[in-house]
Structure 1
């Protein structure tokens, strides 16, 4: 049986946030999603000791204030956070973005499909994989 995940979604585009929620609803997935609009907001959330850490992080690369790369550099250099799987969820098919993301230590790189049906299939497969994984509880 798959576990219910606590997911931190770092995304500044409201349409993308709505697509994630719509996909979860259509797939009848009961994962808990916390949203952050940029890397700064996400780091504030992650450092709040009164809140439970997420099991999984989805991060867009191109955001205001603090982009995905800046967030990942800080996040992956924090010993108390770096164990949390971070997946880049982006429109960028740029090979340099891909290489740089894996160098930082991400767990996956997903290019957001344009067709909604493909979007649902990709998100479904990723969530099935991570909800069946053994994850470190903080």
Structure 2
């Protein structure tokens, strides 16, 4: 008998279409049943979380179970979005995992100071990404 995995809602803030596809495929690979949403930049992320603008139809819906946040995005980067999220009483409890190509110590320290739950450098192989996704879904 196969054990059914819990359904979670994952929000991914990522501007790179290739990285979006890899995340989607990695989650499918580990057979996680979930709702997956993508936003392309920090402004879109904040609108999604606050149910504003193009996301006004989300009003009254729960927050995602977890946010995977890229730091280097256009319009509003992940650092600025993280600061807004962690200072907003309605959003600050949302688990946030930075998933980025950055290995800069400054980014690591700064994001932890802002309240990020984890900082992960994007894996270079698909197998490593799928393994990481399996671990992240335990948040």
1:105 equivalent to 2:122? Answer no
Secondary structure, in 3 states, of the residue corresponding to 2:37?
strand
* Contact 1:45/1:51 (<8 A) preserved: no
* Contact 1:6/1:32 (<8 A) preserved: yes
Secondary structure, in 3 states, of the residue corresponding to 1:33?
strand
Secondary structure, in 3 states, of the residue corresponding to 1:40?
helix
* Contact 1:61/1:88 (<8 A) preserved: yes
Alignment match, 2:126: 116
Count of paired positions: 129
Q: TM-score, normalised by structure 2?
A: 0.88
1:12 equivalent to 2:20? Answer no
Alignment match, 1:41: 44
Q: Unaligned regions of 5+ residues in structure 2, if any?
A: 52-58
1:3 equivalent to 2:6? Answer yes
Q: Deviations over 1:47-103 (max 9, x none)?
A: 112433111111000000000000001111100110011110001111110000000
Q: TM-score, normalised by structure 1?
A: 0.89
Alignment root-mean-square deviation, CA = 1.2
1:87 equivalent to 2:110? Answer no
* Contact 2:10/2:35 (<8 A) preserved: yes
CA apart distance, 1:35 = 0.7
Alignment match, 1:64: 74
Structure 1 segments, 4+ long, off by >4 Å, are: none
Secondary structure, in 3 states, of the residue corresponding to 1:79?
coil
Q: Unaligned regions of 5+ residues in structure 1, if any?
A: 131-138
* Contact 1:75/1:82 (<8 A) preserved: yes
Secondary structure, in 3 states, of the residue corresponding to 2:99?
strand
Between stretches 100-109 and 52-61, larger displacement belongs to 52-61
